[in-house]
A and B are shown apart, each in its own frame.
Chain A
């Protein structure tokens, strides 16, 4: 039985935990330290994301794109740069530089649709499309401005 388990582990390329390198209670590493940056990490607040030297431990280098079923698409022609989407995006996925909204970071966006809800323009400058929709097609099918209904 033990052999079978080991064989299965070898096949999958995973290894049994512990095994040869068992350590005593006193030798266990206490806690763990992950460094967010390579080298100098001072003055991070004044560096833009593209100027920072992220380490492999920083979740900036990871992606959650597979969580998405629908994706938000950004239409720069309608946008008024109000930055509502930037302040309320829960995933730091709105790329804003120098007071301008530039686009969406699709590596970190989870498709929650909060940005679309808070967008004040008419028609909205952010809309949800299927994950597989081509960006060009999405922009081509953008709705027209809605007229105010007279009561």
Chain B
């Protein structure tokens, strides 16, 4: 595989973007930062499938396409199925020798939002992971159905206000815990599973390259702050991601072959979760005195998860 250099940003910036501007994602959206970074990680030909979501509707506004690679969209849930089919066809045609250039390296990538990954497309994703196709699935996790007006998904964390889990006199927002998709995917026996964030561009690029290189189904969950639904200024996208990784709301780690866990980023000063919650409008109600217990609960969950990750890394399980 033709890897491009990620030694430093200057060398990384010599890559030619294959994701064009004038898509209609909101200003400051992290989706396109993640997509651009993936496409700059390699010089190989890419075949990309997208689930329905912000990324799909914004990059394929008829009659325009923002993709300089092969890109396919079918339905809300079936990017993993579509990319499995494309990968199987490529393999078969390579064997038969009917490809125009059989030697050209091709990588298969599927993108999905958290709605289509955690909820609606879960069965399709699980099936593709089980069949063991050689592809990389990247979940752009913005913790709600942002494309349709910010409904709750199973990726929404406790206490967040969404349009279908509203905060008010009788409720503090969503009451259920976020689904641990990374562990679920690791349990499928996937050779490479990781959780990454766009503010640490080098760790993210390394993770992407590892996933593209690894044969077999790889899964990457990336944090994608949504300025519209998380309610912060578009310019703060990277700042919010910094807070997310430094408060360990989104710990960055990888799991190799389902058992070897490595933590990819250890913050020097672990911040209190209040800093992260206070920066966003969707958690505003948690700072009322009657909701103090929710913040304590979130902090406790974070501490427990971080302790578990560290134990797993030490014990290599």
Interface residues on A, range: 35 or more
Instruction: Give A44 to B68 CA distance when docked, in angstroms.
Output: 7
Bound complex: CA A103 to CA B37 (Å): 20
A96-B59 Cα distance, complex, nearest whole Å = 22
* Contact residues in A for B198 (Cβ distance below 8 Å): 88
| Interface contact A92-B17, CB-CB below 8 Å | yes
B29 at the binding interface (Cβ < 8 Å): yes
User: Which residues of B lie under 8 Å from residue A46 when comparing CB positions?
Assistant: 16, 43
Q: Are B238 and A59 in contact (CB under 8 A)?
A: no
Say whether B63 faces chain A, with CB atoms less than 8 Å apart.
Answer: yes
Tell whether A118 pairs with B238 under 8 Å between CB atoms, given A87-B9, A108-B21, A111-B27.
yes
- Please pick, from B24, B28, B31, the residue contacting A113 in the complex, using a CB distance under 8 A: B28
Specify which chain A residues have a CB less than 8 angstroms from the CB of B12 in the assembled complex. 83, 87
Q: Is A48 an interface residue (CB 8 A)?
A: yes
Query: B98: CB under 8 A from chain A?
Result: no
Residue in chain B with minimal CB distance to A56: B63
> Which residues of chain A from 37 to 77 have any CB-CB distance to chain B below 8 Å in the complex?
37, 41-42, 44-49, 52, 56-64, 67
B21 touches A57 (CB 8 A): no
Residues in B with CB closer than 8 Å to A90 are 25, 27-33, 36, 237
Q: Confirm or deny: A14 has a beta carbon within 8 angstroms of a beta carbon on chain B.
A: no
Question: Within the assembled complex, what's the spacing in Å between the Cα atoms of A107 and B20?
Answer: 11
Contacts of B28 in A (CB 8 A): 90, 112-114
Evaluate whether A67 and B27 lie within 8 angstroms (CB atoms) in the complex, with A32-B62, A112-B234 already known: yes
Distance (whole angstroms) from the CB of B109 to the closest CB of chain A = 14
Q: CB distance B68 to A37 under 8 Å?
A: yes
B8 CB to nearest A CB, Å: 9
Contacts of B36 in A (CB 8 A): 89-90, 92
Q: Does B19 contact A (CB under 8 A)?
A: yes
B contact residues, total (Cβ < 8 Å)? 51
Q: Is A131 an interface residue (CB 8 A)?
A: no
Minimal beta-carbon separation of B63 from chain A (angstroms): 6
B204 to A, closest residue via Cβ:
A87
Q: Which of B10, B29, B65, B69 contacts A59 (CB 8 A)?
A: B65
Decide: A113 near B234, CB < 8 A? Known: A49-B16, A86-B13.
yes
Contacts of B148 in A (CB 8 A): none
Smallest CB separation, B115 vs chain A (Å): 20
In the complex, chain A residues whose CB is within 8 Å of the CB of B67: 36
Q: A34-B63, A45-B18, A114-B235 are in contact. Are A84 and B9 (CB under 8 A)?
A: yes
With contacts A83-B12, A105-B21, A107-B21 taken as known, whether A45 is within 8 angstroms of B65 at the C-beta atoms is: no
List residues of chain A with CB within 8 A of the CB of B151.
Answer: none
- With both beta carbons as reference points, the residue of chain B lying nearest to A45 in the complex is identified as B43
> Shortest beta-carbon distance, A28 to chain B, in Å?
16
Q: Which residues of A contact B299 (CB under 8 A)?
A: none
> Are the CB atoms of A87 and B22 closer together than 8 Å?
no
Which residues from 24 to 71 on chain B have a C-beta closer than 8 Å to any C-beta of chain A?
24-25, 27-33, 36-37, 42-45, 59-69
Asked if A138 CB lies within 8 Å of chain B CBs, one says no
Beta-carbon contact of B65 and A58 below 8 Å:
yes
User: Of the candidates A44, A93, A96, A116, which one forms a contact with B21 in the assembled complex, judged by CB atoms under 8 Å apart?
Assistant: A93
Q: B9 and A44: CB pair below 8 A?
A: no
Asked if A99 meets B235 with Cβ closer than 8 Å, knowing A84-B9, A90-B30, the reply is no
Q: Mark A91-124, 1 if CB is under 8 A from B, else 0.
A: 1110010110000010111111110111000000
- B9 and A116 contacting across the interface, CB-CB below 8 Å: no
Of chain B, the residue at the smallest CB distance from A67 is B27
Q: Nearest 7 A-B pairs (CB), nearest first?
A: A108-B21, A112-B27, A113-B235, A112-B28, A110-B27, A83-B9, A59-B64
Binding site for A on B (CB under 8 A): 9-25, 27-33, 36-37, 42-45, 59-69, 101, 198, 201, 233-239
| 29 A-B interface contacts by CB (under 8 A) | A37-B68, A44-B18, A45-B18, A45-B45, A46-B16, A49-B16, A57-B63, A58-B64, A58-B66, A59-B65, A64-B21, A82-B10, A83-B10, A86-B9, A87-B9, A87-B37, A90-B25, A90-B27, A90-B36, A91-B23, A91-B32, A92-B20, A99-B11, A99-B14, A105-B21, A107-B21, A107-B22, A108-B20, A112-B28
